[in-house]
Structure 1
């Protein structure tokens, strides 16, 4: 049966990458118009991504700009025996830092007059105002960098946001705000983190200071540079400290922050290019596992701690796409379809927002019992990190390639797929 372009687009709007395969195979024998409609599915995927990220980030960014974040953001905490985390003191910086890290590459794209372009401009303009409020002691939304341990974590995510979009998020700030940001980051030096992935938080904050012309604390950087290679256990996996944990922390924190850290240090001749290439190669290897664990229907196994971070579990795969670093025999269209399926499973199948648009504690809907003792509303905005690939322009192959089945779909439909073997680096 022949389909008009209009009908094909309607089908693709409903199925996008999730159910394209039957139609994709038919296009070998169908019209050029139908093939063009399949190519357009990347545009539909992008529209879904951008609308969802805009929805997710808006309550955080627009309230921060208005000085109403602390007033309006709910503070939901994990219902865990012995919960003692002082969420009221740290959750707002969590929301801001994590959201910044997730939306920064997208906001770095140039303005245009599309709906997406207008969304980006609105968020970027509001976030610049919000950053000013966040470090202004006279603002009702002055954020806490100076007490508790948790700000070590979320200042690092804020640093990651600045590093991912310096021209969009750092350079436009006025001199007073820049000075205040630097002072807040330096105030973190009176605290140290735990002996695991937290070493990267201190190091990345110092790398950000280095990137803006400040004197970095070399000890906080060197400690991470020494320990992380020791904690590499092979085949693209790092241990989270001396003991290995089977969870998503290689993607939540370890490998994306390690690559970003080495990128800054390489620019300042603090590490060699070969050292940077090694950590990048290990991240690309780990991306192979990430692509494979996305199921036929977009689901993925909810194992390990911090599972309430939802799509943040795939920050690493999204970042390898953002950097244009794809594993062998895995195409940009394949990664796009896998990530789109995952995002649709999480945010179309599950109701993960409250009535005012804030994320709620849980994995698929409201499930506060699966939260951890350190989890609160602000923590959940790690979910924005799964959208990093939106930083690729709409003309990139990630968006323009025709849909392609990911490994699970190939394997479970009897198609040939790449066998997996360990690597020696």
Structure 2
């Protein structure tokens, strides 16, 4: 990571954007309505994938041209030609309709924002016939059902553009979507994606790059409409606390927290930061905001995110296709264009001129709660690593689903990823779990989490230990209810576990730490130290090496502590770390009022 005063400038961001856009052109179809990129295809075919690459890169063009004075690479002409061909029913490159291809509803939203931002460059220059064809294609968003999740915003921004150019829209649909999305709000800036019951079942970077960015862009595209000024004020007020939290989820090297789905979108994670500056909803010093946003983009640019052809690959550091979701095609990573939203701010905006400020993790340790979602954030200055201890976010609906490694684990960081398996087996423990092993050798999962409390450097939760039934049966057998407490100081977490069910025997209790690859991927942090030690007597420590890979490398080593035949009503306490060296460990003492943790500096914490 660059030092203060050495980060990218707006000119660097412009040049970066131009290079990434120009690299796509060799893959364009003759009419320029698609980019047929190399890579794995999604089942719906090349038309879907090609449209996705066009629309998502067009989003970057919209941001790029919004405040531009010149267009030296003729991005406007290139994408205007693609719009004309893609919306022409007589063209061999005619795009699938929003009714026949659900994915087109996402891409229509990207096109709508791009058209709005580049209006004076592209829309105003289109012929009346092409304008009408574009309106006709986008009009497929009216009167169709969008899924009950962040996609509701895609319908709204698409119709907001249609409304702005005299096209059809349905105000009742817009209002219904606003109500649904409001019901997903958890408070203090955080949303659950598609959970109007306000469970924190689906929380990840979508909170920033869709729920916040799209809500305010909907207002930007609806300026002057009744009630929009009040709506924008409400969304801006929600964005401020989110940015206060999210800005601490980046390591000192610019790396974002590695948690949740669709991580191949990479620097889309900074879209919400730029949105704060665009809508005067930024609680951060502008110099810090710029440093964080540009630092994350630069992190990926310098660590292999773009392949030898200059294309944004499916992966995190470099290409790692196992990360892709079932809906991810070769054009999917260009959703990273959301991270370029700051280009709508002209060169004269203070965000580009304020003196750069280091982030808090560069000047001292950070430990803070994110209460609505049950997270503790721990950032350490000596290694620049951010860790999140998770006592609230899972990936189940109202009923338990198999544990998702990217949501249900106890810990995530900016330098590690999870083992891609739902639970441990006889071959070893997977990362960041508290698991009971039943007499049949099954390892419990943590599909549903009940947040108890999050405050300062302490968090607690309850979970029902659930054992997956053997195939062909589906579902889980319920085990004991576990209470778990985490105490965090620096790179060390103390994790305490107990259960009170007296009628269910368990063969063992296993508590595991972070997975570190023995064979790091190019660009990944090396020299990491992940360890677990027992503070309660009777625990045995070891490690398991999984012959699999994640985005950070292969042969994933997981440290663990195991307690044989755990007893109900007793606390089992371990300490774990992730850093560059072995820490000084805390100690545990049993007192008349209960267990007490003593940290190396003499500070104490009761459980």
The aligned counterpart of 2:69 is 111
SS at match of 1:118: coil
Computing the radius of gyration from Cα coordinates, the structure with the larger value is 2
CA spacing shift, 1:372–1:320, aligned 2, 3 Å: same
Instruction: Give the distance between the partners of 1:213 and 1:407, measured in 2 at CA.
Output: 47
Judged with a 3 Å threshold, the aligned counterparts in structure 2 of structure 1 residues 265 and 256 are, in CA distance, closer, same or farther, namely same
Contact 2:28–2:36 (Cα < 8 Å) also in 1: no
2:3 to 16, 19, 29: 19
How much has 1:264 moved relative to structure 2? 3.7
Which shifted more, 337-346 or 318-327? 318-327
Give CA deviations for 1:303-350 in whole Å, capped at 9, x if unaligned.
1010000001221112222334321xx2211111111211111111x2
Contact 2:28 2:35 in 1 (8 A): no
Which 10-residue stretch deviates more, 103-112 or 234-243?
Answer: 103-112
Per-residue deviation, 1:389: 1.0
- Contact 1:353/1:360 (8 A) holds in 2: yes
Aligned residue in 1 for 2:76:
124
Separation in 2, partners of 1:281, 1:422: 17
Equivalent residues of 1:192, 1:202 under 8 A apart:
no
Tell whether the 8 Å contact from 1:64 to 1:141 is kept in structure 2 after alignment. no
Say if 2:277 is the partner of 1:333. Answer: no
Instruction: Report the 3-state secondary structure (helix = DSSP H, G, I; strand = E; otherwise coil) of the residue aligned with 2:186.
Output: strand
Q: Corresponding residue for 2:187? A: 234
More strand by share: 2
Deviation at 1:110, TM superposition (A): 3.7
User: What is the alpha-carbon distance in structure 1 between the residues aligned to residue 342 and residue 221 of structure 2?
Assistant: 20
TM-score by length of 1: 0.79
For the Cα contact (< 8 Å) 1:65–1:127, is it kept in 2? Answer: no
From 89, 94, 105, the equivalent of 1:142 is 94
Describe the shift of the 1:331–1:273 C-alpha distance in structure 2 as closer, same or farther (beyond 3 A): same
1:316 aligned to which of 272, 278, 294: 272
- Gap change, CA 1:145 and 1:355, over 3 Å in 2: farther
Q: Which residue of 2 aligns with 1:273?
A: 229
- Using the TM superposition, give the Cα deviation of residue 71 of structure 1 relative to its aligned residue in structure 2, in angstroms: 6.9
The residue that corresponds to 1:10 in the other structure is none
Corresponding residue of 1:6: none
Give the superposition deviation at 1:63. Answer: 5.4
Distance, in Å, in 2 between the alignment partners of 1:374 and 1:19 is: 38
Matching of residues 57-68 of structure 1 within 5 Å: 57-60=21-24, 64=28, 66-67=30-31
**1:266, 1:276 within 8 Å by CA — same for their partners in 2?**
no
Structure 2: distance between partners of 1:70 and 1:275: 36
Instruction: Determine if contact 2:34/2:51 at 8 Å carries over to the other structure.
Output: no
Contact 2:61–2:118 (CA under 8 A) maintained in structure 1: no
1:160-309 aligned at under 5 Å gives the runs 160-189=113-142, 191-242=144-195, 243-244=199-200, 245-269=202-226, 271-309=227-265
Unaligned segments of structure 2, at least 5 residues = 373-607
Distance 2:299 2:318 in 1: 12
Are the counterparts in 2 of residues 56 and 384 from structure 1 also a CA contact under 8 Å? no
- Alignment match, 1:11: none
Give the 3 Å change call, closer, same or farther, for CA 275–211 of structure 1 in structure 2. Answer: same
Q: Is the 8 A contact 1:90 1:150 kept in 2?
A: yes
CA deviation profile, 1:367-392 (whole Å, cap 9, x unmatched): 10011111011211111111111222
Using a 3 Å threshold, how does the CA distance of structure 1 residues 142 and 421 change in structure 2: closer, same or farther? closer
Between the aligned partners of 1:46 and 1:76, the Cα distance in structure 2 is 34
1:75 to partner: Cα distance: 4.2
Query: Secondary structure of the residue that 1:166 maps to in structure 2?
Result: coil
TM-score w.r.t. length of structure 2: 0.56
Question: Hey, which of these two has a bigger chunk of helix by percent?
Answer: 1
Q: Distance in 1 between matches of 2:68 and 2:9?
A: 20
Are positions 1:151 and 2:83 aligned together?
A: no
Q: State the partner residue of 2:50.
A: 92
Contact 1:361–1:380 (8 Å) recurs in 2:
yes
What is the distance in 2 between the residues matched to 1:186 and 1:72? 25
Q: Verify the 8 A CA contact 1:61 1:96 in the aligned structure 2.
A: no
What secondary structure does 2:247 align onto? helix
Which residue pairs with 2:297 in the alignment?
343
Shift of 1:235: 0.7
Q: Is the 8 A contact 1:60 1:69 kept in 2?
A: no
Pair 1:133-2:85 in alignment: yes
Task: Select which of 380, 386, 407 maps to 2:360.
Answer: 407
Aligned residue for 1:167, secondary structure, equals: coil
Instruction: For residue 294 of structure 1, report the CA deviation from its aligned partner.
Output: 1.5
1:358 to 311, 324, 334: 311
Cα displacement (A) at 1:405: 0.8
Structure 2 distance, partners of 1:165, 1:290, is 29
